[in-house]
Amino acid sequence: MRNIVRSVAVVTPLVCFPAAHAQTEMKPEWEAGAGIAAIDFPMYRGSNERRFFLLPIPYFVYRGETLQINRERVRGLIFRKDSVEMDISVNGSVPAQGSVARQGMPDLNPTLEVGPSLNVHLYYSEDKKTNFDLRMPVRGVIASDFKSVQSVGWVFQPQLAVDFRDVEQSGWNIGLVGGPIYADRRYHQYFYNVDPQYATATRPQYTASGGYSGAQFIVASSKRYQDGHWIGGFMKWDSLNGAVFADSPLVKSKQYFTIGFAVTWTIDKSDKMVEVNND
């Protein structure tokens, strides 16, 4: 399960579903399809204002030797050796527009986070249906209104993750992942600063520093059916207790849940088959 931003196409950043390492089998090199996703989440981390999206989504799966794209993530393998590998981690956030807490302030543009992740496989069961990993992604962050691009710092998000595949031979995959988040001063200031010109009687000036950003924990489940359709859902608990920006007047909630659900159908696939881990 990867915490990744927001399609593969649209589903990947919005909904974080588990990806278990499992025994290999032959599958089409690529698949294309479409579906629908529903998600309820805060406007930004620490906001008490929520958004609900019900979206039609395209999806694309590609199973290459070094580049892999699936419903969970875009994975560009940099190197692999024994139980250690490095790949590309992708995450992001959606725009925050019309927030009451930020009234009179510039809207938050969507962000894209990209960077390397060092992954250590700590345990595999003999049947390869259970694995326990340590993942250590470091991602640079940019924000854009699609007219200009702004660098807004970096994020370090070490995670412990456990995946269970084909639980009780039901076809269901379950993933659990969680850990702390750290970010630099520019990242925190992008979301939580209140500059002097935007200060009010109820929203005092505030300057955020870098450091601890809170913690996230996700549980997700998914199942793929023989007729080609796939369903998945997740629930994420986010805590900002102890975060260096927790005193920002823009932080209105220090603990909250995010939930999401998606269903997709395969429309077309390649004739070429490749040996891959189950996705």
pLDDT of residue 8: 31
pLDDT of the chain along its 279 residues, tens only? 433 333 333 333 434 444 434 456 788 888 999 999 999 999 999 999 999 999 898 888 888 776 766 655 566 666 778 789 998 888 999 899 999 999 999 999 999 999 999 999 999 888 889 999 999 999 999 999 999 999 999 999 999 999 999 999 999 999 999 999 999 999 999 999 999 999 999 999 999 999 999 999 999 999 989 888 999 999 999 999 999 999 999 999 999 999 999 999 999 989 999 887 654
Conformation bin of residue 82: beta by default, left when phi > 0, alpha when psi is -120 to 50: left
Gap between the Cα atoms of 228 and 221, Å rounded: 17
11-271 fold: Outer membrane phospholipase (ompla); Chain C (2.40.230)
Non-local (6+) Cβ contacts of 153 within 8 A are: 140, 141, 183, 184, 185, 186, 187, 188, 190, 210
* Burial track 62-94 (b if 16+ CB lie within 10 A, e otherwise): bbeeeebbbbbbbbbeeeeeeeebbbbbbbbbb
pTM for this entry: 0.84
pLDDT of residue 247: 98
